[in-house]
A and B are shown apart, each in its own frame.
Chain A
Amino acid sequence: MLKYLFEKEENIPQGSAAVFFGVSAIAWFIIGTGLGSFNAAKLAFPDWFHGLYALQFGHMRQVHVHAVIFGWIAMAFAASMMYITPALGNTKLWSEKLGVWNCLLYNLGLCLALALLWSGVTSGREYSDHVWPIDLYIAFIMVLPWCLNVWMTIINRRTQGIYTSNWFFAACMFMTVIVFLVGNLPEFFHLTGLNEAYMTWWFAHNILGLLITPVAAAITYYIVPKITGNPLYSHRVGHLHFWSIVVFYSTPAAHHLMSSPLPEWLKSFASVEGVLILVPAIAYVCNILLTMQGKWRMFVENVEIKFTITGVLLAIPLNMQGGFQQTRAINWYIHGTGWIVAHAHLALLGFSTFAEAAAVYYGMQVLLRRKLYSLSLANFHFWTLLIGFSLYWISMTIAGLIQGAAKIYEVPYVDVVIAEHPYMIVRWLGGTMVFLGNIVWLWNMYMTARAGDEVPVGRQPAELAYGR
């Protein structure tokens, strides 16, 4: 990839930026889940690896979070956008060269950002842990060139309308930049007190709600019709999804602080808006599942569809939890417990990761023009991911309910720690399965590039039989 940095634009093969981002995403996924597994081991067996002071839990926890969000999820999004946006506009990516530079500077910036977090240089604000110089780097060097490529590709498209996925891509990148710059105002201008606390969660909520969830959904809007050959069930339901994301999903930030002394009107408002996220959620899930009409066998036979539809099905419990767990009636019980940790992993490791993994699987085959090396390894990856995630989600949900019960009955805290111990072990095993599955994925992708069967021009990878 590095050889394209100083190459003329016309000499860079189409899809280079997407491949670069895709490979980086898988690598960061392995690093991020590896750290997650390591951290989980520490929560089950705190004296394990004692003496390895460089890997203290309090320093590594945020490195795990940002490695998976900025490394895996965001880079998989970038990879997807870099090939889906031009494909839907019947054109080329605006600038492959910018894309390749973007990916290089993205990787370097992320290394620097994680190294700083690792050494304890932090703003002390969850999800916006990065210090403000890094925030500016992320916004202007990592995200803005990516936005530019997406927007310019859409502007230079050779189709009449803009397809659903591309509205989402363009709007979500815009909202991400705004959310990033506005959400970090407390650091740029040293806002303090409850304003700082509220803005921290405004950022955290909106970066999830306006970047991660809708972009993952937009990817499935491309993958499912493309691979099944069915047109999207309804363009209008897509509209409903899009507009209700913008209107409802951008407003319930305060529901993350339901038990803090924020103004009561704000909490009530956020709570009602929080239930309304069911509007985009239901519109989206129905739209995709109805698109599958008549092609459900592909859920079993086709590995990309298997990943995508599993992600979409996981969006059902995700949004049911998300819509209702933040109401006062439920939130007081589960706030701050493992339930929330489980919910966060349902969003990121469940719904979103499965959708992106499909996009990376599919994109790599299309861009490299190589059929996936091994279906068995891909299935192995799928099941380690699904079983590992399920173990994690179930164990953390149970741990959260234990914590919730202990909270009401005011049980001495150490008894909660003792009761949670078995679930901490299961969580660690689940996370480790995900990590190991990802290593297999990287190997499978490497072998696809090296030894996958060539896909003839004009054919889809899904149309070819597996060679082995």
Chain B
Amino acid sequence: MAFREYKIGCYMFGFALSFSMFVTIFLPGVDISSVSSTELALDKQLTYGHESGFAYEDPFLQGHGKPVKVVLSKDPATGASIDKTTAYVFPAGTPFPSGLTHTKILGEDVKLLSESLGKIDQASEEAGAVFLVQTNDKDVPYVENATATRGWNSDAVLKAADETIMAGAGKTMFVREGCWWCHTLLPEQTQDWQSFGRPPLLGDFNGESPTTFGSDRKAPDLLHVGARNSSKEWMTLHFFNPRLVQPHSIMPRYDYLWGEKDASGNTIDLAKWDEEYMAYTHGESIYPPEVPEYSADSEARYLIDFILNLK
């Protein structure tokens, strides 16, 4: 019996499915892959690193193996003061983003400049590297390997930094905690401009994985949230218990991301905090309990750094 008498049908089926996949995967793939990275895409790749979801370097999504974004006001090699500069530090062993390891992600012009002016081909994951995002006089963005061009090594840059932003580890928290089930990262092209800001462009995503657009918006879009609200204090209260700053919020509390100890090393007692908070909501006390300050290596810090970095 077999499928013998269905031979023509089987051929037609194979042809139809292959043609469908040619049109819906191959052609869009070629088209999308031909787009150059924008400056924003370079910034995102260098901030978030190789992968924000499951990866060898971070199988349990704890924020391991991610670069650190820093703001410098003096040259880490010479100590001379410089204009405020954003640098992306990849300590030794931190995997590079796809743009630096694959040939097609940056786009032709960006790649050419990144190699000729930026010397990115001299960067190595084993030794670590520090990168900058630059633009040439024709506004073409490129990546500069400051370790090769300026002799900046990652330890010195981290030491000289005015500010360190753990947004790479923070995006992993964003993925792991499922923030993107409610908060989209995609202002829509039709009507979101005024409240949520500029929708992203075609080349804004090169090298980013996952893109976590989100599909089911139950909460404000966050793509430019750092530009609307840059208050670390507000974010701290909001993540610990959203209803402290927005009584009608339906967001879960993320107090457990504070970890065991707060910034001054005191143990955080979430159950006791909740008890005092419930007393406050029932009108038994006038003020809600104090929100502990998160410690520098807590997951709450990573996540808040990521959110505030969404400009």
Stretch at the interface among B67-75, B172-180, B261-269: B172-180
Q: How far is the CA of A199 from the CA of B216 in the complex (A)?
A: 18
Across the interface, which residues of A come within 8 angstroms of B78, CB to CB?
Answer: none
Contact of B188 among A161, A194, A262, A336 (CB under 8 A): A336
Query: Interface code A322-343, partner B: CB below 8 Å = 1, 0 otherwise?
Result: 0000000000100111101100
Across the interface, which residues of B come within 8 angstroms of A122, CB to CB?
Answer: 53-54, 61, 175-176
Q: Are B98 and A155 in contact (CB under 8 A)?
A: no
Q: Are B188 and A196 in contact (CB under 8 A)?
A: no
Q: Are B215 and A256 in contact (CB under 8 A)?
A: yes
Q: Are A56 and B252 in contact (CB under 8 A)?
A: yes
Q: Are A332 and B188 in contact (CB under 8 A)?
A: yes
* Interface status of A259 (Cβ within 8 A of chain B): yes
Contact of B191 among A256, A260, A410 (CB under 8 A): A410
Q: Are B194 and A410 in contact (CB under 8 A)?
A: yes
Contact of A125 among B208, B210, B253 (CB under 8 A): B210
Task: Bin the interface of chain B by size.
Answer: 35 or more
Given contact pairs A194-B211, A196-B210, A157 touches B1 in the complex (Cβ within 8 A) = yes
Across the interface, which residues of A come within 8 angstroms of B215, CB to CB?
Answer: 126, 256, 336, 340
Q: Are A195 and B271 in contact (CB under 8 A)?
A: no
Given contact pairs A332-B188, A336-B184, A51 touches B274 in the complex (Cβ within 8 A) = yes
* Interface status of B23 (Cβ within 8 A of chain A): yes
Output the nearest chain A residue to B61 by Cβ-Cβ distance.
A120
Query: Interface code A189-217, partner B: CB below 8 Å = 1, 0 otherwise?
Result: 01111111111101000000000000000
Contact of B181 among A57, A121, A251, A340 (CB under 8 A): A57
* Interface status of B220 (Cβ within 8 A of chain A): yes
Across the interface, which residues of A come within 8 angstroms of B190, CB to CB?
Answer: 259, 332
Contact of A53 among B50, B209, B256 (CB under 8 A): B256
Q: How far is the CA of A31 from the CA of B61 in the complex (A)?
A: 26
* Interface status of A99 (Cβ within 8 A of chain B): no
Given contact pairs A43-B250, A57-B178, A190 touches B209 in the complex (Cβ within 8 A) = yes
Given contact pairs A122-B53, A124-B210, A251 touches B23 in the complex (Cβ within 8 A) = yes
* Interface status of B147 (Cβ within 8 A of chain A): no
Q: Are A61 and B181 in contact (CB under 8 A)?
A: yes
Task: Bin the interface of chain A by size.
Answer: 35 or more
> Binding site of A, secondary structure by majority: helix, strand, loop or mixed?
helix
A121 smallest CB distance to B (angstroms): 6
Output the nearest chain B residue to A210 by Cβ-Cβ distance.
B17
Across the interface, which residues of A come within 8 angstroms of B216, CB to CB?
Answer: 336, 338, 340-341
* Interface status of B212 (Cβ within 8 A of chain A): yes
Q: Are B32 and A192 in contact (CB under 8 A)?
A: no
Across the interface, which residues of A come within 8 angstroms of B249, CB to CB?
Answer: 46, 414, 417
| 6 smallest beta-carbon distances between A and B, as pairs | A58-B178, A259-B188, A124-B210, A124-B53, A124-B175, A120-B176
26 A-B contacts, Cβ less than 8 Å apart? A42-B252, A46-B250, A46-B253, A51-B271, A53-B256, A56-B252, A58-B177, A121-B60, A122-B53, A126-B215, A132-B54, A155-B2, A158-B1, A182-B21, A187-B54, A193-B207, A193-B209, A194-B211, A195-B29, A196-B209, A202-B24, A246-B16, A250-B24, A336-B215, A336-B216, A338-B216
Beyond contacts A57-B178, A195-B32, A260-B213: 7 other A-B pairs, Cβ-Cβ < 8 A, are A56-B177, A251-B24, A260-B200, A261-B201, A261-B204, A408-B191, A412-B195
